[in-house]
Amino acid sequence: MARTATRLAAVGAVTVAVGWYLSGPVVNSPWHRFFDLRVYRGAVRWWLQGRPLYDFVLPHTSKGFTYPPFAVLVLLPSAVGSDTTAEALLTLASTALVVLTTWMLLSPVAARHGWPRWFAVALAVPLVIAMEPIRETLGWGQVGLILLALALADVAALRAERPWAGIGLGLAAAIKVTPGLFVVYLLLSGRRRAACVAAGTFLAASLLAFAFSPRDSVHFWTRALWETGRVGAADRTSDQSLMGLLARVADPSRPDRVAWALLAGAVAVLGLARAVAAARWGDELAGVTLTGLVSCLISPIAWTHHFFWVVPAVVVLVDVAAGTPVRAAPSWLHGHADRAAAVGAVLVAAVFGSSLIWFFVGATAQGAGVLPVLGENAYLLVSVGLLVLLPIRDVRAPVRRPAPLRPAGSSPR
């Protein structure tokens, strides 16, 4: 009973601390008045009136609908009721998804180390919300948590070798194109059935959208998909993709497309090679996480809320720090992987939890010096670091646990 009370007190203290942090001195405020939800609601209502979906522009802004046509079918419930009702329902659903995805991530880790699952999840949820990609997703009214939940459902399905594995990733790709990279990941890692299921799901969802709105489907896949300017300017600090970095370096000129293609190709080869290795060694979560990070980095636009893949990355690091063996590691890490993982988990959480990049807005274009430039591009640089250094775990090996303490006065014999 005393232990339970202590754990509840710890959860309460962390929740209060995070609540104070988010409501007070946060550098990049998470409260964006559900701007993206307002775009979704406006676009859905516009489309239901029989108007061309991609002609919609939210009044008094330059923002319109940028997702594939299948996404508008998924977002139909957002058009129901008043703005306040939609915002409340989305907040409740998003909070539930935070809890669900945190449970999906931590449950196997807690079981492996003998931690109470409820305590691990309850302690982690406020810390997860404190990380910028998650709080920005909540504040903008974004769909990233749906994509994460679909991907994690497929992680569980792939582990269990379910015949329907791939459906979640296929749906994610139909809602937002960039998860289509997971089909490549599945093919390269030898899961042809899952890759076919994912590709088939994507095709079926896209054909369903075509049946409802052939005009919009043709417009998106032939025109709107390639108009990256519809999403926003690549040189903004909030774009932490490789293209965003090159755009800030080149400002006011245009970024070098050849340089971007070479960098994106190198990042894709490196990240997918490690993801495939992780999958073949049984660490499905690391494989999916690495692929997700690659999809952010090589995308022409990757806003800060797209980097929710750092949450499962931190979980992998915490798992290794707690004693899960590493399947492959550099020689200089031999015997120290747990300590290095602990440092890495703290570093990643601190960078993304502190909104570090917002201290250095404009530093790259102004040539403000090495440290400010590194600061403005910190999310990108940390993500590249994770592609190189994220541990690939030996999840089937027994976990090293500290020996239980002997009662006072007992003999060592």
Query: What DSSP string runs through 222-242?
Result: HTGGG-GGGT--TTSTTB-SH
According to the model, what pLDDT value does residue 413 have? 42
Predicted confidence band at 8 (pLDDT cuts at 50, 70, 90)?
Answer: confident
Does residue 17 surpass a pLDDT of 90? no
pLDDT of residue 7: 85
Residue 407 pLDDT > 60, yes or no?
A: no
Integer Cα distance of 90 and 145 in angstroms: 11
Instruction: Please give the Cα distance from 36 to 42 (Å, whole number).
Output: 10
The most distant pair of C-alpha atoms in the chain lies apart, rounded to whole Å, by 82
* Distant-in-sequence, close-in-space partners of 131: CB < 8 Å, separation ≥ 6: 310, 311, 349, 352, 353
pLDDT tens for 294-305 read: 999 999 899 999
| pLDDT score, position 171 | 96
Contact assessment for residue 399 and residue 113, using Cβ atoms and an 8 Å cutoff: yes
pLDDT at 30: 65
- Average of pLDDT values for 191-199? 95
Phi, psi of 334 (to 5 degrees): -60, 120
| Rounded Cα distance, 117 and 285, in Å | 18
Buried residues in 367-389 as b, exposed as e (16+ CB within 10 A): eeeeebbebbbbbbbbbbebbee
Rounded mean pLDDT, 58-80: 92
Q: Above 70 in pLDDT, residue 330?
A: no
Q: State pLDDT tens for residues 140-183.
A: 999 999 999 999 999 999 988 899 999 999 999 999 999 999 99
Q: Which residue has the higher pLDDT, 352 or 25?
A: 352
Contact 309, 289 (CB under 8 A): yes
Q: Which residue did the predictor score with more confidence, 367 or 96? A: 96
pLDDT at res. 196: 96
Buried b (16+ CB within 10 A) or exposed e, 269-300: eebbebbbbbbebbbbbbbbbbbbbbbbbbbb
Q: What is the pLDDT of residue 366?
A: 86
What is the identity of the amino acid at 117? R
Q: Would you place residue 3 in the very low, low, confident or very high pLDDT band (cuts 50, 70, 90)? A: confident
pLDDT confidence of residue 328 = 65
Q: Give the separation between CA 281 and CA 304, rounded to whole angstroms.
A: 30
Average pLDDT over residues 192-216: 96
Whether residue 25 is predicted with pLDDT greater than 70 in this model: the reply is no
Does residue 382 surpass a pLDDT of 70?
yes
pLDDT at position 181, please? 94
Across the chain, what does the average pLDDT equal? 90
Distance between CA 165 and CA 189 in Å, rounded?
Answer: 14
